[in-house]
């Protein structure tokens, strides 16, 4: 039997590691300590180690553990409403009114500083050479005067004015060609010179400068001046491009002249085309500026108020009003004195 339990693969010459005296001694000590446990049989009758009847085995005592949630050592102080939390709506209203008053005061000072800067600026338009006896008449700087979101619109209207002035100048030469091709074009040639001399500066003063001032100062009155004059200018441009009269070069006169002189008629057709483009651009910009004007909250009442305020601030108007008032007082005094005589 021992032969069966032996390891067939073990080396017969190898030493048994458990035969070492130190291992045997340690093993003997362990068996002596555990002999009582090995000899105990719970199923044997007459076992002396079983508990007697009525004797209970106390449950094992668990080691004391710390609870997962720390218990506060001190109770939190009672909640009391602080003075910072007792905010009244009246205080908020007063603060809001104070902020609005300061904002209005700041805006007024900025406007005064802006007006002072405008009055102290040197004119730079038109850009004339220094040897010219006539100096610039206006100050123009888009990056300084016009807000960023409106600079493109104002510049585009300025380019429309430049294009319109060039078309009026070319209209003189087209009218001259019309006069050469047809003797009835003498009146058209004369009126073309009048249109160029009259409309070039008037268009700049009457509708471009009001638009520039309107966006610079947010003036409702300047917007109304621009709308009225720019609409009138667009109507005149439409009349010129159609050519319904003998005083303008338009599509009708150009088509009637092309049979007499091809060169003159073709030149007149180009000018009519330029007038058509200018009229379309004017109508488009008129609608765009009107849409911007409606979005700014301006109104006709505000324009009247600005007009009345501006008129009363004028020194000439103030002098005339003062003289009229003094004359009225003197007349009433003299009339009162004459009545007392009787």
| Residue-level pLDDT at 309 | 60
Map out the domains of the chain as residue ranges: 102-139, 146-306
Q: Measured between alpha carbons, how far apart are the two ends of the chain, in Å?
A: 173
- Using CB atoms within 10 A of its CB, is residue 273 exposed (0-12), middle (13-18) or buried (19+)? middle
| Residue-level pLDDT at 316 | 46
| Residue-level pLDDT at 274 | 95
Q: Please list the rounded mean pLDDT of every run of 10 residues in the chain (342 residues).
A: 56 60 61 51 56 55 55 62 58 84 79 63 82 84 88 95 96 93 88 93 94 88 91 93 84 89 91 95 94 73 58 47 57 59 52
Q: Which two tokens stand for residue 197?
A: 């001399």
Maximum pairwise Cα distance, the chain: 173
Tell me the CA distances in angstroms from 155 to 123, 141, 149, 161, 212, one per residue in order. 18, 10, 12, 10, 9
| Residue-level pLDDT at 115 | 63
Indicate the DSSP class of residue 135.
-
For residue 138, report the phi and psi dihedrals to the nearest 5 degrees. -135, 160
Whether the pTM exceeds 0.75: the reply is no
Q: Which two tokens stand for residue 142?
A: 């888009």
């Amino acid at each position: 039997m021992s032969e069966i339990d032996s390891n067939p693969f073990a080396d017969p010459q190898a030493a048994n590691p458990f035969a070492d005296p130190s291992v045997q001694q340690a093993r003997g000590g362990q068996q002596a300590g555990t002999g009582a446990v090995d000899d105990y049989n719970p199923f044997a009758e007459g076992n002396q180690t079983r508990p007697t009847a009525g004797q209970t085995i106390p449950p094992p005592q668990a080691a004391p553990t710390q609870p997962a949630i720390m218990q506060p050592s001190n109770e939190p102080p009672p909640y009391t409403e602080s003075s910072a939390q007792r905010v009244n709506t009246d205080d908020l209203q007063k603060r809001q009114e104070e902020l609005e008053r300061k904002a209005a005061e700041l805006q007024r000072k900025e406007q005064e500083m802006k007006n002072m800067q405008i009055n102290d600026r040197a004119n730079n338009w038109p850009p004339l050479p220094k040897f010219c006896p006539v100096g610039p008449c206006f100050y123009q700087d888009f990056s300084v005067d016009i807000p960023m979101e409106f600079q493109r619109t104002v510049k585009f209207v300025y380019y429309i004015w430049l294009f319109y002035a060039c078309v009026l100048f070319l209209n003189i030469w087209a009218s001259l060609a019309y006069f050469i091709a047809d003797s009835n074009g003498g009146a058209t040639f004369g009126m073309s010179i009048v249109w160029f001399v009259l409309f070039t500066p008037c268009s700049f003063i009457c509708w471009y400068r009001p638009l520039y001032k309107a966006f610079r100062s947010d003036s409702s009155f300047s917007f109304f001046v621009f709308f009225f004059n720019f609409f009138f200018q667009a109507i005149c441009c439409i009349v010129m491009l159609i050519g319904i009269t003998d005083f303008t070069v338009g599509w009708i006169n150009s088509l009637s002249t092309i049979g007499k002189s091809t060169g003159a008629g073709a030149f007149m057709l180009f000018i009519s085309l330029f007038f058509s483009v200018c009229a379309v651009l004017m109508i488009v910009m008129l609608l765009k500026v009107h849409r911007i004007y409606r979005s700014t909250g301006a109104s006709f009442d505000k324009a009247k108020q600005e007009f009345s305020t501006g008129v009363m601030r004028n020194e000439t108007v103030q002098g005339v009003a003062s003289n009229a008032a003094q004359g009225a007082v003197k007349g009433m005094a003299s009339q009162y004195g004459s009545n007392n005589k009787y």
